[in-house]
Amino acid sequence: MKKKLLFIIPSLTAGGGEKSLVTLLSQLDYSRYEADLFLLQHEGLFMDFLPPEVRVLPLPDEYRHFAKPLVPSIRHFASQGRLSLAASRLLFALVSRTAGISRSEQRNWKRLARFLPTLPASYDVAIGFLEKTSNYFCVDKVQARKRIGWVHIDYDQHGMDAAFDLPYFRKLDHIVTVSEECAGILRRNFPELAAKIDVVYNIVSPAMIARMAEEPPEDLYGREEGETVILSIGRLHAQKAFETAIAACRRLIDRGHRVRWFVIGEGEERGKLEELIAKNGLAGRFVLLGLKANPYPYLKQADLYVQTSRYEGKSIAIDEAKILGKPIVVTNFSTARDQIAHGVDGLIVGMEPEAVADGIERLIGSPGLRRRFAEQLSASLLGTESEMEKLERLFA
């Protein structure tokens, strides 16, 4: 008999965790497993990449009304005389606007949970595939023999309330994270739960990435002769420090380098970044491309991949750049050395614009170093499909 799995994640809009889940689902053996997926939003960049075997569960009616804009949502519940739900919706909005992103999501869970009934089906394994809401739903709203929660982040850097998470983590059979560094951080925060913390690397498939990188074959950048094309991938969020990238780009141009820097991603900082691009005179030189369903042709055709993050869990984009043999510059965030060996397959630099510009300049001026990095990457075993074996042991 097939095992029944439930995966929970808020959306498939964009992001490393979302991409990792879609890749995991594409690698799952459906002769052995049935897979349901619970989403709070039935739209997003990666929805079209879900395997046909995955059943997306319908949204509960109460949640659909909760998810409407604030005034129509409150009006709906008030018109039915359900004033406590109307009050919960209002308080949810107020807390979301006044607390930090991570803590507001934690504090608001009990309000959100009122609009989400317990799922009717029972599962062999329920998997909350993203920190916070996914894990809380997995514990509070699912009947399952085994519960697994994922933490894709550097727990210390996200302003999380460990006291809120502790009772939920205690009810999970396994807490999975994506790198040894992230696991160490979790063990320091939750020493009594250390035995249930497991590391499973993000699932990436070199064969799939190489295949998708071939389409389309034409020049995507309109490259000029002698120009260096730099690519970054990530949400337009303070975590990614794209203002540092803009400042580094300005320095490179001031030093006489012909560069264009592109960013694939979308987010709340677009307006701020557009202002910085204009202020630094970088229109057409630093370009926000928005989201791309298939970023791999852009990555393959770029000369360098650069990541200026302040912190990361384990960056899928860096893994993908390594698979495509790109020379890489990353800032010295806490988990950078989990992915890059400095001077062996990439460069790790300081977080200041000057340091980022210096690292890029070093690669621009050193074809031999770029070639050596590419050769090292091509000789490395970079796929993580074998991580599926770890997952299957956790599912047992």
Pair (148, 235) in one structural domain: no
pLDDT in tens, 333-390: 988 888 899 999 899 999 999 999 999 999 999 999 999 998 888 777 666 667 888 9
324 in the same domain as 185: no
Element housing 133 (H / E): helix 133-140
Q: Which residue has the higher pLDDT, 335 or 81?
A: 81
358 and 242 in a common domain: yes
Q: Which of 88, 64, 63 is nearest to 74 (CA)?
A: 88
Domain count, the chain: 2
Identity of residue 343:
G
Q: What local confidence, expressed as pLDDT, does residue 386 receive?
A: 74
Write out the two tokens for 75: 């009006």
Which tens digits make up the pLDDT trace of 175-185?
Answer: 999 888 899 99
Is the same domain home to 106 and 239? no
For the cut 90, the answer to whether the pLDDT of residue 160 exceeds it is no
Q: Residue 64 has which token pair?
A: 């659909």
> Which CATH number characterizes residue 253's domain?
3.40.50.2000
Same domain? 153 vs 229: no
* 47 and 193 part of one domain: yes
Same domain? 234 vs 110: no
Cβ atoms within 10 Å of 209's Cβ, excluding its own: 20
Residue 19 and residue 173: Cα distance in Å, rounded?
24
Instruction: Check whether 311 has a pLDDT greater than 90.
Output: no
Closest CA to 12 of 70, 69, 56, 71: 56
What is the chain's mean pLDDT, rounded? 91
Q: Which residues pair with 363 in a beta bridge?
A: none
Residues 232 and 195 in one domain: no
Contact indicator for 257, 364 with CB cutoff of 8 Å: yes
Same domain, 199 and 218: no
Is the confidence at residue 229, as pLDDT, over 70? Answer: yes
pLDDT-derived band at 14 (thresholds 50, 70, 90) equals confident
Q: Copy the structure tokens of residue 60.
A: 């509960």
In the predicted model, is pLDDT for residue 277 greater than 70?
yes
Residue 45 has pLDDT above 70, yes or no: yes
70-79 vs 83-98: helix axis angle to the nearest 10? 160
- CB atoms closer than 10 angstroms to residue 117: 12
Indicate whether 184 and 307 sit together in one domain.
Answer: no
Q: What's residue 221's pLDDT?
A: 92
Question: Which one, of 14, 77, 5, lies nearest residue 36 by Cα?
Answer: 5
Q: What is the pLDDT of residue 302?
A: 95
Q: What's the domain range around 343?
A: 207-378
- For residue 13, pLDDT over 80 is answered with yes
pLDDT at 314: 81
Statement to judge: residues 246 and 194 lie in one domain: no
Instruction: Give per-residue pLDDT as tens, 288-309.
Output: 999 888 899 999 999 999 999 9
- Tokens 């630093």 locate to 286
Higher pLDDT pick, 207 / 375: 375
Q: How confident is the model at residue 157 (pLDDT cuts 50, 70, 90)?
A: confident
36 and 5 Cβ atoms separated by less than 8 Å: yes
Share of the chain above pLDDT 90, in %: 68
**Domain check: are 89 and 217 in the same one?**
no
CA-CA-CA-CA dihedral for 272, 274, 280, 282, to nearest 10: 160
pLDDT at res. 381:
62
Contact status, residue 4 vs residue 123, Cβ threshold 8 Å: yes
Tens digit of pLDDT for each residue in 94-136?
888 876 676 888 999 999 999 999 999 999 999 999 999 999 9
pLDDT bin (cut points 50, 70, 90) of residue 211 is confident
